[in-house]
Chain A
Amino acid sequence: MARALTLVRRRLLGSIPVLLLVVALTFLLLESASGDAADAYLLSIGGGDAAFAETLRQAYGLDQSVWARLWLYVQALARLDLGWSVAFNRPVSDLVLERLPNTLLLMGTATALSFALGSFLGILAGSRPGSLRDRLLSAGSLTLYAVPGFWLGLVLVIVFSVWLRWLPTSGLETIASGKHGLARAADIGRHLVLPVGALGVIYTALFLRVMRSGMAEIWERDFILFARSRGIPRRRILLSHVARNALLPLVTVLGLQSAAMLGGSVVIESVFAIPGFGRLAHEAVSGRDAPLLMGVILVSAVMVIAVNLLIDVVYAALDPRIGGREAGP
């Protein structure tokens, strides 16, 4: 436990300069846009004269230099203030807090299910590399991994919502259904099936492939030959040695993929009209809402750091070789 804490502390300190770089680079990128937040606001309320725009600029501090405003932004960040959304006319942090749980629910469910299914199928494929079963699963997963997630979402909607009418097409729950407790959970569950399916199929294919190739490599190791020479039953070699060791690269990939997964949620949430964090990014872009987009990018960077931190702790728990000097005899 002590080494996990050390790890967390070191990682947290290391992530501060990186986060500041994220802030600075994103700020400068969004500054390069033609037109500023005042223009965007005027556009969203249907226009206004130059004097009103000037008042707005003063109110938002837009009349100052880029660097002064960046400094102001960083100061506000230190107070956990993410600024004001122009398009929604609300604090960015409120919007983020409102939307984040939906995305975490969606991504968490999709990741957990696909991790379980993908590693299971990966073990099936990797139990005998080169066998017919392995070749079928590998070819199938390669094909599924080539499927664009948003398109798969549309196809699922066509099949299960339009043709079969089994599942709802969009949203996270039935609006104004008045449901509570278990009934509401079931309703959310029904809404989650298709988006989780669209995301999950692709992750499953990915996890399957990583698990399978990791196992194919482990089978060639000396300690597997030694286990076979000691007559350890094949099933135990497969699960306790091969699959157990192949779990390590799989966990690493989970961390590496977390940024890509978060990016993927933007499209999937747009397809299924899920009021989540990813869709907020799309709405920020459509509404030319720079403070909101800035907030979304910053919060997603924090999330990626947090996920990787979690992954590091899990990895350290799975691999005794990581920082384990004090644990030995």
Chain B
Amino acid sequence: MSVPLATIRNLSVAYDGETALNGLSFDIPKGGRLAIIGESGSGKSSFARALSGLLPANAALSGEIGWPGFEDRQPQAGRDLCLVLQDPATSLDPVMTIGRQVAEGARAHLGLAWPQAMAQAENLLARVRLPELQRLMHAFPHQLSGGQRQRVAIAAALASRPRLLIADEITSALDMVTQAEIVTLLRDLTRDSAMTLVFITHDIALASTLCDRCAVFHRGRLVEIGPMAEVLARPGDAYTATLIGAHIDLASPRLIEHFQEKWEPVFRPEMRQGKESGGER
């Protein structure tokens, strides 16, 4: 294996004395798609925030994260890596147009003036396969569906061309069909570029359709890490086996692939006309 993107050594995080992450050690390889699997409370969100350097003020971090993939300097949030959040209903500014929210990242990191940044934003929105770009640029988040908002968030995250995208449960607030669409989008985006994806989820079935490596967290500890297929076929830990047993009955990944086949060729225009938000949540 070549130089890893990040090396995590003995990483622990505690909030006001309560341990959330306990002595994690593993590497994140460059360019791959790593799934972090765990239930709520497993510490996976704390890991996402520790990795992106955005832990809240009351968090205490110990151990270290090395970044050989960034020539051993501390990566900058936004320019080198970006964290996309779980709830698309709250992760966009409600009173700023979609165009500006995507453009502000391009402006901050690529040194573009507003008109160029806006043009760049339009390209990014097209890349995440959003339709009716002219209107979308001037729309506000509440006028979009959950899946559309999450696409906008991904476009905004890509604005600075980060080398690491951390997706923290970004599909868990969406319905099955939209989940599959977002997963397909993430797969295509990481296939075309050298971007590394850390895909954090509780859904091992969903992760198995997207990621090549898999790390399983349980109560703040890493219980298992390895290539996806190996972990799925031969879980080395009892907890992982339970997770797989609970989630995969061989039908569900196929079900998702079925949706992908069905929906991928014809992009579904899911712009809603005059409906209240939250319909698909």
A contact set with B: CB distance below 8 Å: 221-223, 225-233, 236, 240-241, 244-245, 248, 318-321, 324-329
Nearest-neighbour CB distance to chain B for A203, whole angstroms, equals 24
Size of interface on B: residues with Cβ below 8 Å to A? 36
Interface status of B82 (Cβ within 8 A of chain A)? yes
Q: In the complex, which of the residues B84, B92, B140 contacts A321, with contact meaning CB atoms closer than 8 Å?
A: B140
Cβ contacts B72-100/A at 8 Å (1 or 0 each) = 00001111001111010011111110000
Q: In the complex, which of the residues B84, B93, B108, B157 contacts A233, with contact meaning CB atoms closer than 8 Å?
A: B108
Q: In the complex, which of the residues A230, A241, A245 contacts B77, with contact meaning CB atoms closer than 8 Å?
A: A230
**B91 neighbours in A (Cβ, 8 Å):** 222-223, 225-226
Known: A328-B139, A328-B143. A229 touches B132 (CB 8 A): no
**B234 neighbours in A (Cβ, 8 Å):** none
Q: 10 new A-B pairs (CB below 8 Å) besides A223-B92, A231-B109, A236-B104?
A: A225-B91, A226-B85, A227-B104, A230-B159, A231-B105, A232-B108, A245-B94, A321-B142, A324-B142, A329-B139
**Complex-state Cα separation, A198 to B182, whole angstroms:** 58
A and B contact pairs by CB, cutoff 8 A, 14 listed: A226-B84, A226-B91, A229-B83, A230-B77, A230-B104, A231-B79, A231-B108, A232-B105, A244-B95, A319-B94, A325-B274, A327-B143, A328-B139, A328-B143
Interface pairs A-B: 6 shortest CB-CB: A231-B78, A328-B143, A329-B135, A229-B83, A222-B90, A320-B140
Contact present for A244 and B96 (CB under 8 Å): yes
B contact set with A: CB distance below 8 Å: 52, 54, 76-79, 82-85, 87, 90-96, 104-105, 108-109, 132, 135-136, 139-140, 142-143, 153, 156-157, 159-160, 271, 274
Nearest-neighbour CB distance to chain B for A134, whole angstroms, equals 14
Contact present for A230 and B78 (CB under 8 Å): yes
**A245 neighbours in B (Cβ, 8 Å):** 93-95
Contact present for B78 and A319 (CB under 8 Å): no
**Complex-state Cα separation, A230 to B136, whole angstroms:** 20
Contact present for A221 and B274 (CB under 8 Å): no
Contact present for B140 and A226 (CB under 8 Å): no
Known: A226-B85, A329-B135, A329-B271. A236 touches B108 (CB 8 A): yes
Q: In the complex, which of the residues B77, B92, B143 contacts A231, with contact meaning CB atoms closer than 8 Å?
A: B77
Contact present for A227 and B160 (CB under 8 Å): no
Contact present for B54 and A228 (CB under 8 Å): yes
**Complex-state Cα separation, A236 to B78, whole angstroms:** 14
Nearest-neighbour CB distance to chain A for B142, whole angstroms, equals 5
**Complex-state Cα separation, A76 to B109, whole angstroms:** 67
Nearest-neighbour CB distance to chain A for B113, whole angstroms, equals 14
**Complex-state Cα separation, A232 to B139, whole angstroms:** 21
Residue of A nearest to B158 (CB): A230
Contact present for A225 and B143 (CB under 8 Å): no
**Complex-state Cα separation, A315 to B15, whole angstroms:** 39
**B95 neighbours in A (Cβ, 8 Å):** 244-245, 248, 318-321
Contact present for B92 and A328 (CB under 8 Å): no
Nearest-neighbour CB distance to chain B for A317, whole angstroms, equals 11
Nearest-neighbour CB distance to chain B for A220, whole angstroms, equals 9
Contact present for A225 and B54 (CB under 8 Å): yes
